Structure 1
Amino acid sequence: MRILLINPNTSSGVTARLHAAAANVAAPGTEIVPVTASKGVPYISTRAEEIVGGHAVLEILSEESTQADGAIIAAFGDPGLGGARELFDIPVVGLAEAGMATATMLGRNFSIVTFATSLGSWYQECVDWHKFSSRCVSIRALDKPFKSIDDVSEEKEDLLAELANTAVSEDGADVVVLAGAPLALLASRIRDRVPVPLVDCAEAAIKQMELLVTLKFRKAAAGNFRRPVAKSSLGLSASLSARLAHQDVS
């Protein structure tokens, strides 16, 4: 199977990190195709930036989806996920969705640990959108600046491990979800320092996607994620405009 790994951030270093984490656990025969947004911000941390990233996701999918069996939106807030499920026929999962869904299979509740306080409110809205509010006992974030988005995982490794332990001891977390694309690969390095399961969202996403592709579900023709009616547009990429107009549908 051929899986798109779409980074809606513009950091190619983060894309490489996500790709490495997913490749570590991918099944033989799974081809992971990493794609980095060509427009936007190095890392998404606000609602406005989420909209920019969601647009990038839809443009990438409109160009690449016909050559793929599935796609992963590889940013923790899952920008563009709802729209992607409406417009495209292949299964699409979000990094946050896959990580949290996996966490609920490992314990009654989970905590989210991330690297910047600016991400907290957006992540909470993502938790709410996915209906995981009753299972998420806390969102804990570091409050110190970092030098590079590409290397924040290594730079803040010890502090993130401490924060994960705080989520366990003070919040009662059964599982800790390491949130944010730049934290891919961290779980394997600090696993022995935290007494509960740690979820690497890139690893979870590729395994969830392999499952969905294998099960061969049909595209929804009714409900919340059915394809919208055809509509013309102005100023969009040719491929996305065609997708909205159903010009690519037989």
Structure 2
Amino acid sequence: MTKTWFITGTSSGFGRLLTEQALARGDRVAATLRRPETLDDLRAVHGDRLWAARLDVDDAQEVSAVVDKAFAVFGTIDVVVNNAGFGVFAAVEEATDEQIHRVVETNLLGSIRVIRAVLPHLRNQGHGRILQVSTAGGQAAYPNFSYYHASKWGIEGFCETVAQEIAPFGIGLTIAEPGATPTGFGGALGTAPVMSEYDAGPAGAVRRAVEEGTFQLPNDPARVTQAMIDSVDREPAPLRLPLGSDTYHDVRAALTARLAELDAQRDTALSVVRGEPEGVS
């Protein structure tokens, strides 16, 4: 069945691939990006099945206006993809306040703005699917990505709550978690001057792996985006969609470690219950 998509951050990477693949299968796409002319080649091929608009998700008024316009143009939008993002590759003390603000503003607050803007429309039409693009770093953590993790762990927590709240309206939500994939995103990461204090530790080791080309990017970007597209036809909507061998192994290891840490603190957790603690051995 033909679907209509609203996708943010479509100039390159996953956003561009999602747009191309959705159009190739006969769907309609409202594509948003900072420079709409970037998609002129696709518009020449697909005509009015592609509607492109300028959107900076950091601008709340612009988000609301563009979302309203997209629904006015297409009438119904079946799938909303929150893909626009920004990352900083730096140790915790190396990043600037401006970089930190941009990461949180775009990845967390920008995604929240889009979801809040589309929900009235999706509720009124009685169906829809939200696809939030996160990362393996939404549940696992890696040196030099602390602020990226802050934004992605934050949006995953937000989306877990939203998924519960919107289910009665016939709206599903899936958090897509791609692993390391050669999309060009790494080249667009913000960086900062290296501090020698961190260069000898884990942050420096990861930085050198990237510089030397030994940092592994094991996943196929076209397969990643195809799996995202396929997921919107699954009922009920999967809450999370792990994509990549590194995602599966890293997230599983992180969850296993956190569960072990939780169990190790069981007695302490139960000891603060008022009255006679239950189950304390």
TM over 0.5: no
More helix by share: 2
Tell which has more relative contact order, 1 or 2 (C-alpha 8 A, sep 6+).
1
TM-score of the superposition, structure 2-length normalised?
A: 0.37
Whichever of the two has the greater Rg, that structure is 2
TM-score of the superposition, structure 1-length normalised?
A: 0.40
